[in-house]
Amino acid sequence: MSYIIRRMQERDIPQALEIDREAFPTQWPHPSYSSFKQELRNRLACYIVVAEPKEPTLSEQVTDNKTLWQKFLRLFDHNHFFGEETSQSSKEYIIAIAGFWIMVDEAHITTLAIRNAYRRRGIGEWLLIQIIEMAAQFKANVVTLEARVSNREAQALYEKYGFHKVGIRRAYYTDNGEDAVIMTTDSLTSRNFQAHFQNLKQTHQHRWEELYASEKTKVA
């Protein structure tokens, strides 16, 4: 299976909304198209997706052939408008999303969500690895986040990667008034953190060798 990790684009928003609602069904309010669009324009925010290329349907193949013919005709008639090209998003199935903000020397994770059918495949951990590496590239010193106090599975993953519980935000989640636990890493540049992180990354690559073998990353 071939996967691509890349920056989120506006064409991905409809699928990103589907993933968010599936992963966080009780969350309120849900993100909207306009709020996602605003985030993509925010120079302090970074959103990425994991995309799975999909085989085009017969109708999409016909559309693609039509588009190629239109391009050919356009060479001889620049004043005629034949419509937009087929959107690349129709050729990709977005299976996971993640986002974070850069605030001074801190990268704050705002979301990490995967379609239910793709859970237990190492993709969530893969995204977390990507976020930590991007945060370091952006010169962030630490990575922080909030997690529901009841979400032990997520907390276990974060703790595995060196996140520590440093506080509680009372009634943080508006859907049910649940508290959020605040978690943060040690300095990303510390020798201990990097040694631990690189060891975990190698272990993940070994376990999910097939995933990495077909990996294509476009997040620059």
Q: Give the model's pLDDT for residue 139.
A: 96
pLDDT attached to residue 79: 43
pLDDT at 80: 41
Closest CA to 184 of 109, 124, 98: 109
- Residue 146 appears among annotated catalytic residues: yes
* Per annotation, catalytic residue among 3, 47, 92, 158: 158
Angle 103-108-111 from CA coordinates, rounded to 5°: 135
Low-confidence ranges of the chain (pLDDT < 70): 1, 55-90, 213-220
Give the separation between CA 43 and CA 88, rounded to whole angstroms.
Answer: 24
Q: Please state, for a pLDDT cut of 90, what percent of the chain lies above it.
A: 72
In the chain the domains, ranked by start, together with CATH numbers, are 3-218 (3.40.630.30)
Is 158 assigned a catalytic role?
yes
For 55-109, what is each residue's pLDDT tens digit? Answer: 654 554 454 555 555 554 554 444 443 333 344 545 899 999 999 999 999 999 9
Task: For the chain, give the number of residues.
Answer: 220
Q: Which of 146, 172, 209, 215 is catalytic?
A: 146
Reported pTM: 0.82
